[in-house]
Amino acid sequence: MGDPLMLSYGLVGGHPGIFFEDLTVGQEFTSPGRTVTETDIVIFAGLSGDYNVLHTDAEHMKSSLFGERIAHGLLGLSIEHGLASRGEPAAAHGALQGLKWKFKGPIKIGDTIHVRSRIAAKKDGPDPRCGLVTVERELVNQLGEVVQEGETEHAVERRG
Amino acid sequence: MRETPTASVQCFFEDVEIDVPLETPGLTLTRAHVALFTGLTGEPASLDPETVPSLLPLSLSSGLGWRVPRPPLAVLAFMGFEWRFLAPIRIGDTIHSRSRTLTKRSMREGGVVIEERKVINQRDETVQEGKLTLLVARRPAT
């Protein structure tokens, strides 16, 4: 088996019955990996309507800085959110309130990415039924390079 | 090797105007959008099946930005952004996006443009908003 952290992450579903009180600042999580395919990029272009040549014109991109088509930044973020929701408690149970995000490097067809995350802060929010949890996140490729990073804020329900 | 797309079909850094509002057409969110998006991202189904995943309207707003009376921005790279999710969006809601350029700064390889963007629903409520930082190409020398 690989990284033991992966086992603690939960491979299916979420963490039923996780509340704001159960989360601790400093908790860290590692997601499963996912290989980004040409199909992912084609579907995202069709769905979003973003047909920028960066993502859709293989011939044009041969002579670009990247040398080939790259995934939409927001596709990477969306896959990141999907990977995180498969187990990490804040992403699985907390509605997104806001995010700050940096796109640091390209995601190319065939790259395998996973998420490293850490609970950075907990605070009260405007709704007394929920607390706000800030999570620092890194989206990492198969070479260990951080291709996207940032922080997300989630409203997580309080216990009773 | 083909020619690089020409100025007539792209908006280069030099063409970006500060503070000019751009309003996109609308888009009605359907179950098909939600099914395609959740299938793509792999996130678990929401507890409320009528609610649209938060990142979907944001993703759609970038495509809506291509449907304005201006050629598409010659974006070299999306550098980063800040975003707030202000209100839930439901299947059947019709969103559009309103944006304007706040600042532009010339760099060696192009220019950095900061864009303010709002996603607005059919009741004219701003449901999501934020600021995006884009690296935009200069007009190629002729």
Decide: residue A11, CB within 10 A, 0-12 exposed, 13-18 middle, 19+ buried: exposed
Please judge whether A49 and B66 are an interchain contact, meaning their C-beta atoms are less than 8 angstroms apart: yes
Question: What's the fold here for domain B7-136?
Answer: Thiol Ester Dehydrase; Chain A (3.10.129)
Please judge whether A97 and B82 are an interchain contact, meaning their C-beta atoms are less than 8 angstroms apart: no
Q: How many beta-carbon pairs under 8 angstroms link A with B?
A: 105
Reply yes or no on whether the pLDDT at B1 is more than 60.
no
Q: What does the pLDDT read at residue B105?
A: 97
Q: Best of B62, B66, B67, B126 to disrupt the A interface by mutation (most A CBs within 10 Å)?
A: B62
Question: What does DSSP say about strands B27-28 and B94-106: parallel, antiparallel, or unpaired?
Answer: antiparallel
Give bridge partners of residue A99 from the DSSP assignment. A152, B83
Q: Which of A126, A156, A122, A153 is nearest to A137 (CA)?
A: A153
Q: Which long-range contacts (CB under 8 A, 24 or more apart) does B35-38 make?
A: B36/A43, B36/A47, B37/A47, B37/A78
Q: Best of B31, B58, B81 to disrupt the A interface by mutation (most A CBs within 10 Å)?
A: B81
Reply yes or no on whether the pLDDT at A141 is more than 60.
yes
pLDDT 10s digits, B39-91: 999 987 777 889 999 999 999 999 999 888 888 899 999 999 999 999 999 99
Structure tokens at B2: 């083909």
Residues in chain B: 142
Q: What does the pLDDT read at residue A89?
A: 86
- Contact list in A for residue B83 (CB cut-off 8 A) is 98-99, 101
Q: Binning pLDDT at 50, 70 and 90, where does residue A129 land?
A: very high
Asked if the C-beta of A42 comes within 8 angstroms of chain B's C-beta atoms, the answer is no
Determine the Cα–Cα distance for residues B22 and A68; give it in Å rounded to an integer. Answer: 31
ipTM over 0.90: yes
Q: What does the pLDDT read at residue B111?
A: 96
Distance from CA of B12 to the nearest CA of A (A): 14
When the pLDDT of each residue in chain A is averaged and rounded to a whole number, the result is 90
Q: Binning pLDDT at 50, 70 and 90, where does residue B10 land?
A: confident
Give the residue on B whose Cα is nearest the Cα of A59: B1
Determine the Cα–Cα distance for residues B69 and B22; give it in Å rounded to an integer. Answer: 8
Decide: residue B49, CB within 10 A, 0-12 exposed, 13-18 middle, 19+ buried: exposed
> What is the residue extent of each domain of chain B?
7-136
Residue B19 Cα distances to B94, B98, B113, B117, angstroms = 25, 12, 12, 12
Determine the Cα–Cα distance for residues A112 and A34; give it in Å rounded to an integer. Answer: 5
pLDDT 10s digits, A35-73: 999 999 999 999 999 999 999 999 999 999 899 999 999
- State percent of chain A over pLDDT 90: 79
| B117 or A13, which is more confident | B117
Distance from CA of A22 to the nearest CA of B (A): 20
Domains detected in chain A: 4-157 (3.10.129.10)
Q: Which of A101, A109, A126, A102 is nearest to A69 (CA)?
A: A109
Q: Which of A13, A76, A9, A97 is nearest to B80 (CA)?
A: A76
Q: What does the pLDDT read at residue B69?
A: 85
Rounded to an integer, the average pLDDT of B111-125 is 98
Asked if the C-beta of A110 comes within 8 angstroms of chain B's C-beta atoms, the answer is no
Q: What does the pLDDT read at residue A65?
A: 87
- Contact list in B for residue A11 (CB cut-off 8 A) is none
- State percent of chain B over pLDDT 90: 76
Q: What does the pLDDT read at residue B64?
A: 95
- Contact list in A for residue B72 (CB cut-off 8 A) is 52
Reply yes or no on whether the pLDDT at B7 is more than 80.
no
The count of C-alpha atoms lying within 13 angstroms of the C-alpha of A116, restricted to the half-sphere facing its C-beta, is 12
Q: Best of A35, A99, A130 to disrupt the B interface by mutation (most B CBs within 10 Å)?
A: A99
pLDDT 10s digits, A4-18: 344 334 333 445 678
